[in-house]
Chain A
Amino acid sequence: AQSVTQPDIHITVSEGASLELRCNYSYGATPYLFWYVQSPGQGLQLLLKYFSGDTLVQGIKGFEAEFKRSQSSFNLRKPSVHWSDAAEYFCAVGAENTNAGKSTFGDGTTLTVKP
């Protein structure tokens, strides 16, 4: 069975500082990995995804994530955080040709941005 762990429940960073949100997964084959963002009162929006190829993937809003098979990780990064990045971030793992409903979501990391 697949699983996702987001070790940090809550992270606070200052505006303009760099950000890294951790995600560790467990999956028997090559995983499909996703990061979603949920702004307050909104639904989830896909930031980026990894299926294969280059292990460093670029997403929207200046985010990137790096797939490290040896560490079973897919950490999300942003070099300079903006106040509007304050939100809930979810990592998810799925599989090729598998219904999105079968993806497993992590428990989320709440990002607070200090002025």
Chain B
Amino acid sequence: DTAVSQTPKYLVTQMGNDKSIKCEQNLGHDTMYWYKQDSKKFLKIMFSYNNKELIINETVPNRFSPKSPDKAHLNLHINSLELGDSAVYFCASSRGTGATEAFFGQGTRLTVV
């Protein structure tokens, strides 16, 4: 009965590869997010989707492409991975665009070697 689930939990890959992280929420929320947490634990918003539409797109390289097939899913695809992409990526959701609190998944630790 996990609320926000991400897969995989750990991902180790070589530079230049393309990888995807999947996220699903069963809370019935309309809005989903991707956050990046770097090695110093700084947390930054990357993207936000509301009902499958992109509403927040922070300054993120276009190698990162979110995809939302439906409002319960928000996947993150990363092309041409670089060493600096190594981080923990969190998916989150909230009731709507006006809901200020977010519910987070357990994170995906991405290591690029």
Cβ-closest chain A residue relative to B98: A97
**What is the predominant secondary structure among interface residues of chain B facing chain A?**
strand
Interface centre among B44, B100, B104 (most CB of A within 10 A): B100
Q: Does A17 contact B (CB under 8 A)?
A: no
Among A36, A94, A107, A110, contact of B100 (Cβ-Cβ < 8 Å): A94
Binds A, one of B12-20, B35-43, B77-85: B35-43
* Cα of A43 to Cα of B5 in the assembled complex, Å: 10
| Contact call B101/A101, Cβ cutoff below 8 A | no
CB of B110, distance to nearest CB on chain A (Å): 14
Binds B, one of A44-52, A67-75, A78-86: A44-52
| Contact call A100/B4, Cβ cutoff below 8 A | no
- Evaluate whether A43 and B4 lie within 8 angstroms (CB atoms) in the complex, with A100-B33, A100-B94 already known: yes
Among A36, A42, A105, A110, contact of B107 (Cβ-Cβ < 8 Å): A42
For the complex of A and B, the 3 pairs showing the least CB-CB separation, nearest first, are A43-B104, A101-B48, A97-B98
- A and B contact pairs by CB, cutoff 8 A, 28 listed: A32-B100, A34-B100, A36-B104, A43-B90, A43-B92, A43-B105, A44-B43, A45-B104, A46-B102, A46-B103, A49-B101, A97-B98, A99-B94, A99-B98, A99-B99, A99-B100, A100-B33, A100-B94, A100-B100, A100-B101, A101-B45, A101-B102, A103-B100, A105-B42, A105-B43, A107-B40, A107-B42, A108-B42
Residues in B lying within 8 Å of A, measured CB to CB: 4, 31, 33, 40-45, 47-48, 50, 55-56, 90, 92, 94, 97-107
Residues in A lying within 8 Å of B, measured CB to CB: 32, 34, 36, 38, 41-46, 49, 88, 90, 94-103, 105, 107-108, 110
